[in-house]
């Protein structure tokens, strides 16, 4: 009787259990040998292999995907959002040189919809499998009356590991004369969507289903492109160029805050990063925003990634070799700037 009363109040425990019963199959592709126990316990278990590191440092990050969720709701398409979240979290710890170990998710919704739940979790699993990261648990909360019908919220927590002596710290290693390489983004990634939605849907009067010639697809499909993961590329870069001398000095994930807020995290107090507009191939979606959005140039580079998802600060004499290596791994990349004397700012000129 209690469970029926709870279901009548909007929380269907039986439905939740039924939906979660398929989790072991969905998560099988993310398994790592360090994972202990089964999915569904009170806590996920991961036995860190300390023999791989002399001084292992655990690196953790938590994030969400912001108002990109509004696009998923509007299009009733939920198969990309989970992968977005994993990749965003992977990139956040990759900038320290960390290898991802495991991921946990949180999903809050008013009423659990099995199809939507499966699409979201499949996205988590796909992202984790591509990044060699175990999905060891999470929380799904049914909270009737808390969310609008058909809406939900997501967050994810990732934990990785890096050898202490190999951890990237640009504030100690970056010097004047170092080069900045920009690696292409796949689109807006998971930031700037509140402004982008205002520009496209309110100012330009477009709809998610609108086919836009400049984009070669519908606006909705463009805005739901999956956030690029740079995790495997970063590990390959560090293995190639930082085995002896550290040619790769710093990495910045260009997320919320754009160039203006993220690159300074990697700079010493007496250095600036100068980023040269026009030095990379800007994606059509950003050309549209720039031409029709009515947003000042400075703000564009503070809100959006403008086609650069990650920057690599590298010793100038190794820049060409690093650039060739990145491109050989099928990531478009360009030399976009350099480090100069300054006060710890990033300047787009």
Residue 98 — pLDDT band, cuts 50, 70, 90? very high
CB under 8 Å to 69, separation ≥6 — which residues? 81, 151, 152, 153, 154
- The whole-number average pLDDT for the span 164-172 is 93
The pLDDT value given to residue 26: 72
The pLDDT value given to residue 1: 44
* Cα–Cα dist 70/44, whole Å: 30
Model pLDDT for residues 189-234, shown as the tens digit of each residue: 999 999 999 999 999 999 999 999 999 999 999 999 999 999 999 9
The pLDDT value given to residue 29: 80
How much of the chain, in percent, has pLDDT values that exceed 90?
81
**Strand pairing partners for 57?**
162
Question: Who has greater pLDDT, 269 or 17?
Answer: 269
Q: What is the CATH number of domain 170-348?
A: 3.90.650.10
- The whole-number average pLDDT for the span 146-155 is 94
- The whole-number average pLDDT for the span 293-300 is 92
**Strand pairing partners for 35?**
46
- The whole-number average pLDDT for the span 174-195 is 97
CATH class of 2-166: alpha beta
Report the mean per-residue pLDDT for the chain: 92
- The answer to whether domain 2-166 and domain 170-348 are alike in fold is no
Torsion sign (Cα): 189, 193, 199, 202: positive
- The whole-number average pLDDT for the span 107-135 is 93
Q: What residue ranges do the domains of the chain occupy?
A: 2-166, 170-348
Torsion of CA 197, 200, 205, 208, to 10 degrees: -70
Please state, in angstroms and as integers, the Cα–Cα distance from residue 301 to each residue in 49, 186, 259, following that order. Answer: 41, 16, 6
The greatest distance separating any two alpha carbons of the chain, rounded to the nearest whole angstrom, comes to 73
The pLDDT value given to residue 11: 66
- The whole-number average pLDDT for the span 281-298 is 94
């Amino acid at each position: 009787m209690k469970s029926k009363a709870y279901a009548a109040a909007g929380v269907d425990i039986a439905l939740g259990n039924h939906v979660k019963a398929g989790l072991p199959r969905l998560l099988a592709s993310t398994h790592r040998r360090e994972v202990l126990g089964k999915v569904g316990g009170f806590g996920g278990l991961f036995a860190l292999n300390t023999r791989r590191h002399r001084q292992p440092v655990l690196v953790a990050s938590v994030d969400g995907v912001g108002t990109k969720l509004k696009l998923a709701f509007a299009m009733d398409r939920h198969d990309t959002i989970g992968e977005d979240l994993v990749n965003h979290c992977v990139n956040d710890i990759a900038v320290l040189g960390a290898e991802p170990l495991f991921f946990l998710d949180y999903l809050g919704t008013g009423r659990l919809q099995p199809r939507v739940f499966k699409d979201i979790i499949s996205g988590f699993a796909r992202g984790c499998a591509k990044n060699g990261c175990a999905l060891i648990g999470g929380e799904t909360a049914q909270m009737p009356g808390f969310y609008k019908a058909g809406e939900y919220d997501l967050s994810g927590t990732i934990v990785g590991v890096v050898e202490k002596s190999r951890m990237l710290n640009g504030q100690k290693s970056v010097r004047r004369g170092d080069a900045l390489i920009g690696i292409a983004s796949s689109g807006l990634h998971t930031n700037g969507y509140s402004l982008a939605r205002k520009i496209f849907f309110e100012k330009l009067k477009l709809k998610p289903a609108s086919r836009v010639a400049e984009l070669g697809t519908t606006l909705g499909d463009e805005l739901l492109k999956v956030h690029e993961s740079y995790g495997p590329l970063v590990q390959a870069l560090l293995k190639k160029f930082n085995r002896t001398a550290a040619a790769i000095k710093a990495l910045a994930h260009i997320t919320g805050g754009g160039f203006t807020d993220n690159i300074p995290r990697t700079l010493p107090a007496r250095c600036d990063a100068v980023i040269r507009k026009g030095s990379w191939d800007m994606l059509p979606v950003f050309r549209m925003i720039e031409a029709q959005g009515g947003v000042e140039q400075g703000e564009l580079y503070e809100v959006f990634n403008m086609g650069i998802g990650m920057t690599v600060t590298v010793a100038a004499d190794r820049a060409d070799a690093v650039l060739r290596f990145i491109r050989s791994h099928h990531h478009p990349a360009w030399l976009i700037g350099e480090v100069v004397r300054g006060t710890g700012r990033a300047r787009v000129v």
